[in-house]
Amino acid sequence: MIFGLESIVAQFPVFLAGVVALIVSIGWHEFSHVFVAYSLGDMTGRNAGRLTLNPLKHLDPVGTLLILVGAFIGWGRPAPFNPLNLRYQRYGSALVALGGPISNLFLFFLFGLLLRIVYPVLGPGNLLTVFLQIFVIMNASLALFNLIPLPPLDGSWIALSLLPSSAGPLRDFLQRYGWLILMAVIFLDFVGGVGLISPYLIRGVSWLANLAGISSYLQV
């Protein structure tokens, strides 16, 4: 047998579980943005066919490609909405943005409860157990990462809505250059090993796991 093939075959179910978990989590995240916008009076997402739990409707080609090649990172198509159609004009966009992370936290606690039931029965090596472990870690990570206050992440909408009107220059700067700052931070962290994001994500996931009572079932 070709060197390493046995290991590849053995790990494929875990890889597949990770891909499914990420696609479902991203789809749920983007659906929740559209649902909140719809609940606040904006029909943009619904008219675009995005008010659906079908994750395929929410996938971005490049983000999906990264998932499928095993990068275990990815993103969905941004949820379309028109801030001018929302009730609560001042904070409407922030509420739409919060819908994504909150939905991932909901999945984290829901499937964390399921993990607490399944793990003692099936044990750590069972594929369902592994899927649940990946799923809860992924949703906690998605929620926390998206709260970073830099465009195009959800946290930027929340931060911008909280800035006073006098902070126009800062708002313009973040909207124009925030994504470049985010890309630089991600590169320095995950490629350069500087540790600007990942240590805090790990601590955040660990804190949530302790809160949910599943820390002993996860390796974080």
Instruction: Give the residue numbers annotated as catalytic, written as ranges.
Output: 30
Q: Of 72, 122, 210, which is closest to residue 218 (Cα–Cα)? A: 210
Long-range interactions of 107-112: CB distance < 8 A, separation 24+: 107/25, 107/28, 107/135, 107/136, 107/139, 108/136, 108/139, 108/140, 108/143, 108/208, 108/212, 109/212, 111/135, 111/136, 111/139, 112/136, 112/209, 112/212, 112/213, 112/214
CB 95 within 8 A of CB 36: yes
Q: Angle at the Cα of 121 (from 29 to 134), degrees rounded to 5?
A: 25
Q: Of 187, 96, 202, 188, which is closest to residue 144 (Cα–Cα)? A: 202
170: Cα separation from own chain's centroid: 26
